[in-house]
């Protein structure tokens, strides 16, 4: 089963988290889980950089939209800096294509470009653009609870299986 444990951090506290504190907190719970996922905001603020510094790997989500690729270079540069200065063990777990509208040529072009650039790092699972995926957070639930049989829930389950398969018995 999956145990979802949320650590609530107030908006004021987010800016004051330091890497060592986050690492210490993760140390206290790491034996209880096979994977600990830190879902960060889509920016390179202090919370995201601290999460990268305290993590073993990073999963990079890329929306299948025009401007999404522009932020990838900055993220890769940040990952490289963190690897050089703070966390030499940080690895790119994989790249996840998200919000794909298969009806648009642009979305399919982004998929092709990302696969060319990242090669085997790109997960074969692609998260489609679906209404249920947009609705779930507004109901305070992950998609797997909001609509467990939806295409979105199935896509995330496939992603989880793919991550586990890639990692074997690590």
3-state secondary structure (DSSP) of residue 92: strand
pLDDT mean over 87-102: 95
- pLDDT grade, residue 11 (50/70/90)? very low
Q: pTM for the whole thing?
A: 0.85
Residue pair 36/24 in contact (Cβ under 8 Å)? The answer is no
Q: Is 1 exposed, middle or buried (0-12, 13-18, 19+ CB in 10 A)?
A: exposed
- Residue of 84, 62, 64, 83 lying closest to 73 (CA atoms): 62
- pLDDT grade, residue 6 (50/70/90)? low
pLDDT mean over 118-135: 96
Q: Catalogue all structural domains in the chain, each as residue range(s) with its CATH number.
A: 11-129 (3.40.50.300), 132-170 (no CATH)
pLDDT tens for 35-85 read 999 999 888 888 898 999 999 999 999 999 988 888 898 999 999 999 998
């Amino acid at each position: 089963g999956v145990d979802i444990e949320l650590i609530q951090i107030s908006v004021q506290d987010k800016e004051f988290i330091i890497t060592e504190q986050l690492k210490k907190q993760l140390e206290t719970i790491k034996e209880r889980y096979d994977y600990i996922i830190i879902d960060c905001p889509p920016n390179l603020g202090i919370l995201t950089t601290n999460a990268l510094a305290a993590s073993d790997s990073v999963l990079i989500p890329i929306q299948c939209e025009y401007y999404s690729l522009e932020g990838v270079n900055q993220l890769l540069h940040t990952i490289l800096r963190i690897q050089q200065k703070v966390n030499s063990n940080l690895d790119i777990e994989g790249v996840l294509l998200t919000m794909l509208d298969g009806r648009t040529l642009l979305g399919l072009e982004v998929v092709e470009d990302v696969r060319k650039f990242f090669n085997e790092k790109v997960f074969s699972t692609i998260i489609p653009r679906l209404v249920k995926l947009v609705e779930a957070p507004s109901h305070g639930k992950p998609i797997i609870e909001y609509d467990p049989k939806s295409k979105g829930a199935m896509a995330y389950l496939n992603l989880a299986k793919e991550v586990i398969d890639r990692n074997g018995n690590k």
